[in-house]
Amino acid sequence: LHRPAGEAAARRQAQLTKPPGALGRLEAIAIQLASMQGRERPALERAQITVFAGDHGVMAEGVSAFPQAVTGEMVKNFARGGAAISVLAREQGVRLEVVDLGTVNDPGPLDGVIRLRLAPSTANFTSAPAMTESQFEQALAAGRAAVARAAGAGAQLFIAGEMGIGNTTAAAALACGLIGLPAQLMAGPGTGLDAEGVARKAAVIDRALACHAGQLAEPAEALRRLGGFELAAIAGACIACAQKGLPMLVDGFIVTAAALAAVRMQPTVRDWLLFAHASAEPGHGHLLQMLGAQPLIDLNLRLGEGSGAAVALPLLRLACALHNGMATFAEAGVSEKHG
């Protein structure tokens, strides 16, 4: 982080025509982005959203309300512009790309979709590591490559999204493995399980944690054993954002679980993360607390795809516009506060 740019931004905020502090968290965001971007006046004209898609072997345990074919079907929907994240990207002039890391239902080659298929799905982590060493390295590299493309295209902010039927189970298992919390605190309804389904999901996670007990001390190893292709790619993207000095706007439960793994792998990653929203998925609050994160919005979203981050993006852009575009007291000839 570039402290002098952040300090210059804080001095500028104090001179803008408003009571000191009256723009609340929007002031803090502008100052934070200034110190990330190394400039007194931060800019967010260009952002990139990369959605990482992958299927999950743990779907054999019946952990989702939707059939597994949906992952590949949604990759097509992203490419054709019909998904929530497609609409949000288009509406805001943000570049959207999709990385297909392996789906049971192969959508085939599609415009706007990068094929990096590692396998039709991960392995069922109740009885084996989700990924081989080689798959895990390739997934991390896929995340790094997406950030390299974003930086190369001049993006000033990176958003990671995810698609993978069953991936709230993987994210919850990963979170439990990293934090040491019981599965009941992390297993939630996901796309719409009832109470019985959530209990079954928690039991599946407990079996996975038992299977990998003693192997989870290293965060990278916990991610390889309990994560998924898209979770590993997102963790790789987080680390690459920190290395390149690119701010990342973190989406909901699944992306936050991957970000937590990345922060455990490389603690300086935390400095480059902004948190978009509080998900309706009950485990998300625990993850945000572990990361000392205060999200911007709380609209009961639980869709994934990066949609919560894309919905919060205008708030960051307006924070920059206010910071850069407002007049100072001196410029406007406005009197300052008494005393």
Q: Which listed residue (5, 63, 88, 173) binds its own copies by CB under 8 A?
A: 88
Nearer to its own copies, 128 or 280 (CB): 280
Q: What's the closest the beta carbon of residue 261 comes to its own copies, in angstroms?
A: 24
20 touches its own copies by CB under 8 A: yes
| Contacts of range 186-194, beta carbons closer than 8 Å, 24 or more positions apart | 186/283, 186/286, 187/283, 188/253, 188/281, 188/282, 188/283, 189/65, 189/281, 190/63, 190/64, 190/65, 190/281, 190/302, 191/64, 191/65, 191/66, 191/165, 191/302, 192/65, 192/66, 193/63, 193/64, 193/65
Q: Which of 40, 61, 230, 305 is catalytic?
A: 305
108 touches its own copies by CB under 8 A: no
Nearest to 218 by CA among 144, 136, 308, 311: 136
318 touches its own copies by CB under 8 A: yes
**Residues 36, 33: Cα–Cα separation, whole Å:** 5
Measured from the Cβ of residue 34, the count of other Cβ atoms closer than 10 Å reads 28
287: Cα separation from own chain's centroid: 12
182 touches its own copies by CB under 8 A: no
338 touches its own copies by CB under 8 A: yes
**How does strand 95-100 pair with strand 248-250?**
unpaired
**Residues 168, 189: Cα–Cα separation, whole Å:** 9
151 touches its own copies by CB under 8 A: no
Q: What's the closest the beta carbon of residue 190 comes to its own copies, in angstroms?
A: 8
Q: Which listed residue (36, 63, 70, 235) binds its own copies by CB under 8 A?
A: 70
Instruction: Candidates 59-67, 121-129, 136-144, 154-162: pick the segment binding its own copies (CB under 8 A).
Output: 59-67
Contact 318, 170 (CB under 8 A): no
Q: Which listed residue (17, 132, 184, 243) binds its own copies by CB under 8 A?
A: 17
334 touches its own copies by CB under 8 A: yes
Nearest to 267 by CA among 295, 290, 233: 290
Q: Which listed residue (4, 182, 192, 267) binds its own copies by CB under 8 A?
A: 192
Active site annotation includes 305: yes
Nearer to its own copies, 9 or 139 (CB): 9
Please count the residues of this chain forming the interface with its own copies, following the rule CB under 8 A: 60
Question: Phi-psi bin for 154: left (phi > 0), alpha (psi -120 to 50), beta?
Answer: left
93 touches its own copies by CB under 8 A: no
Q: What's the closest the beta carbon of residue 1 comes to its own copies, in angstroms?
A: 22
Instruction: Candidates 11-19, 30-38, 239-247, 263-271: pick the segment binding its own copies (CB under 8 A).
Output: 11-19
Give residues with Cβ within 8 angstroms of 283, minimum separation 6: 171, 172, 175, 185, 186, 187, 188, 253
Residues assigned a catalytic role: 305
Which residues are near its own copies by CB under 8 A?
16-26, 65-67, 69-70, 73-74, 76-77, 80-84, 86-88, 90-91, 191-192, 280, 296-303, 307, 311, 314-315, 317-318, 321-322, 325-327, 331-338
